[in-house]
Amino acid sequence: MASIFQVIGAATAAVSSSTSFDTKKFQLCSRRSVSERKSSFVVVKASGSNRIGSRADQLVTNAVATKADTPPAASKPGHELLLFEALREGLEEEMERDARVCVMGEDVGHYGGSYKVTKGLADKYGDLRVLDTPIAENSFTGMGIGAAMTGLRPIIEGMNMGFLLLAFNQISNNCGMLHYTSGGQFKIPVVIRGPGGVGRQLGAEHSQRLESYFQSIPGIQMVACSTPYNAKGLMKAAIRSDNPVILFEHVLLYNLKERIPDEEYVLNLEEAEMVRPGEHVTILTYSRMRYHVMQAAKTLVNKGYDPEVIDIRSLKPFDLYTIGNSIKKTHLVLIVEECMRTGGIGASLTAAINENFNDYLDAPIVCLSSQDVPTPYAGTLEEWTVVQPPQIVAAVEQLCR
Amino acid sequence: MSSATFSATTAGPHLPLYTTRARSHDQNPMFDPLKKSASFLGSSTKLSFNSTTTTKLTRANSVARSPIVAVSEVKEKKSKPISNLLITKEEGLDLYEDMILGRAFEDMCAQMYYRGKMFGFVHLYNGQEAVSTGFIRLLKKEDSVVSTYRDHVHSLSKGVPARAVMSELFGKTTGCCRGQGGSMHMFSKEHNVLGGFAFIGEGIPVATGAAFSSKYRREVLGKADCDHVTCAFFGDGTANNGQFFECLNMAALWKLPIVFVVENNLWAIGMSHLRATSDPEIWKKGPAFGMPGVHVDGMDVLKVREVAKEAIDRARRGEGPTLVECETYRFRGHSLADPDELRDPAEKAHYAARDPISALKKYMFENNLASEAELKAIEKKIDEVVEDAVEFADESPHPDRSQLLENVFADPRGFGIGPDGRYRCEDPKFTQGTAHV
């Protein structure tokens, strides 16, 4: 286990230069004027956008994304913490709030979680509420589902998301389906969470991206967190939701540091997050690739581009409102994801965008995904399986031509 | 009368049933490995480790056709005259009525299936009624039952109205699952029937979770009197599945209030239990995980009931799980689509002669617990109940299109935000079932 922590330490050093940022900075970025754009097409504003915007205000208040999702201007000082601590804070607040919330997983109790997300919780809440399970993913996931059906609100941790492949039977058949096949009698308010994604030379089986495998399961929601702020907010939202939610964390993002508000906040599970508004191209991303995109964005800004970066956060369902508004503005879409090329989140997103916003697109959607390759151990090969910032820059340049 | 104790179910003569001495804080020394109980009603004495019949079982694979001979030899039991009556008249009538309901209902299902009123895979329980009745009639309403695809009778025994089950089978909106589950997915929140699972083994973890909830309620939420028990029913085929073993481990580890009931009817579709299992004595797998393993004659509802009482009380007292292997038989094929050509007619005849309903009837007559007229009245009543259920189901409406998208999510915001900024579930077409989600 110690080696994993060292790996993360080393890895975050590489990522941290672009990550210990203040999210406000990107919102205040100056916008390039239209004449400086290298593209030659004419921007046509969708006439309906303002009308739709005002109607949305009357509806479910959280349906409109963006403003609520970035840390508000400091009314109170807030506190700085790392992403795994933010997850723990969210978890602890919810456990404090509702005694039915419990955690189960391997090494979550006495060990404190292999990524320290549940550290200290077993001491505080006891061995039954923070349950160390034997190594039986399918069965303890099913146990969590049975507990949820009978009134508890368990959080099931997969030590690594890849291990949840063993629980696929329970996640697909029971988690996703039981509310429906029981005619709505039983609800399954579980949260299934764990780290996934390509780490630092963890080998193929520990570097899996299961978003693509789970996305077809009807009846579940999937979210991916990427910053301490949204990690805590999404964790709380997922726990409070009556739906089964799969929360994807990333092995390399656990040590991100950010200042988050002191006051309690819960984010919306179905909304996307506007990371950097722009005019030229919409870049849709999630989880770790957000940081590669932001790194590329720096280069792009220096080259005169104005990318709009959206962290889609909700992998299932997609927030087509935020995404759509962006496309209506920029007319160019680039998807950057860590998922596999075949049948991945990007593939679904491409289909959804083509279906809904085809008229607004000036060029085919470009989707940058990981290679369809079992992640190699060698560092150089591993680097080439995931999307790197230079590729993103090149893709934007290509798109905007 | 002394409570039935589970006699030694050790895999070897030197292995104590307690896995560690630390567990002897149990007040009630129920499973003393050295004491062969006289009042225990299961047939473990026949199947004990030193019995010659056991060797026949394990060598069955090497002899063509002899598995069936060996089984019938081992399983045959002469009915013992029982000195103390095990049931009162009310209990007897309740058991009888429940078994008749199960049998009549399943027979009606077969009729309705061949008339085209229900479709798909329908698995009938004929012959196994003693297990369902023996266990479930002892449970309280708050106790939970988890079953497999052969779940009609478990639901009926637990108290789900016959109308609701029949409607569900017909796929009508008045069914217990609004027609969305079907034969293999019977659920009832009111009666705590937690399914109804099509894949074998996948219900066992759910049952373990329900038992975990019960323990959690008592120990974390402070409801000290919460003693809900869960009964998980599954077959011999499932006893070779990983989820079974994983849950035995967890249930014993945390002393969850659960009873694992194996309905060993010797056949998993066309796979004989003896051809699929290295050690066919399933009850033995209990002690391997630190819980009592009991074998009982599943064609005798009174014997099943005695064992069930003990197992359920054990769980209620917080002493942990029990594995009960009920040796039983299904009179029909695996499902209504199964031609059932593989099983030896001699074997079928052997078990048909041990029909649990006839056995109980005989017991009640012999012990003057009921008259012919009383039992006939029950049968007539049940016929009417089943007829009424069919009528009700026939007259019930089919689900509307508007039902299609309901119940996918407990919180329908899970369908997400549409391009127009509104939640998809707010789209009027959503309630019509025509929305594109």
A88-120 residue pLDDT tens: 999 999 999 999 999 999 999 999 999 999 999
Mean pLDDT of chain A: 85
Q: CA-to-CA distance for B294 and B47, rounded, in angstroms?
A: 11
Question: Are residues A250 and A287 in contact, defined by beta-carbon separation less than 8 angstroms?
Answer: yes
Across the interface, do B417 and A271 touch by the CB < 8 Å criterion?
yes
Question: Are residues B415 and A321 in contact, defined by beta-carbon separation less than 8 angstroms?
Answer: no
What is the secondary structure of B30-86 as a DSSP string?
---TT---SS--SSTTTTSTT-HHHHHHHTGGGSTTHHHHHHHHHH--PPPPPSS-S
- Which range has the worst mean pLDDT, A40-49, A85-94, B168-177, B179-188? A40-49
Q: What is the arithmetic mean of pLDDT over A334-362?
A: 95
Residue of A nearest to B192 (CA): A150
Q: Could you give the percent of chain A with pLDDT greater than 70?
A: 81
Residue A279 backbone phi and psi in degrees, to 5: -125, -25
Mean pLDDT of chain B: 84
What is the separation of C-alpha B164 from the centre of its chain, rounded to a whole number of angstroms? 19
Residue B16, pLDDT above cutoff 60: no
Across the interface, do B407 and A139 touch by the CB < 8 Å criterion?
no
Catalytic amino acids of A?
Answer: 137, 206
Residue B392, pLDDT above cutoff 70: yes
Question: Are residues B291 and B273 in contact, defined by beta-carbon separation less than 8 angstroms?
Answer: no
Q: What is the arithmetic mean of pLDDT over B261-280?
A: 95
Nearest to A102 by CA among B216, B318, B219, B226: B216
Task: Name residue B8's amino acid.
Answer: A
Cα angle value A299/A302/A305 (rounded, 5°): 85
Nearest to B202 by CA among A105, A384, A168, A23: A168
Count of other CB atoms within 10 angstroms of residue B429:
13
Q: What per-residue confidence (pLDDT) applies to B59? A: 38
Q: What per-residue confidence (pLDDT) applies to A73? A: 55
Q: CA-to-CA distance for B414 and B423, rounded, in angstroms?
A: 9
pLDDT tens-place string over residues B397-406: 999 998 998 8
Residue A251, pLDDT above cutoff 70: yes
Chain A hits for B178, Cβ within 8 Å: 183-184
Of the two residues A327 and B17, the one the predictor is more confident about is A327
Q: CA-to-CA distance for A360 and A282, rounded, in angstroms?
A: 12
Q: CA-to-CA distance for B212 and B255, rounded, in angstroms?
A: 9
Residue of B nearest to A183 (CA): B177
Across the interface, do A183 and B243 touch by the CB < 8 Å criterion?
no
Q: What per-residue confidence (pLDDT) applies to B433? A: 75
Q: What per-residue confidence (pLDDT) applies to A23? A: 40
Q: What per-residue confidence (pLDDT) applies to B116? A: 94
The enclosing H or E element of A84 equals helix A83-97
pLDDT tens-place string over residues A28-80: 333 444 443 443 333 333 333 333 333 333 333 333 333 345 555 555 689 99
| Tokens read off for B363 | 């017991």
Across the interface, do A173 and B178 touch by the CB < 8 Å criterion?
no
Q: Is A241 on the interface with B (CB under 8 A)?
A: yes
pTM (predicted TM-score): 0.82
| Tokens read off for B350 | 């052997």
Of the two residues B366 and B47, the one the predictor is more confident about is B366
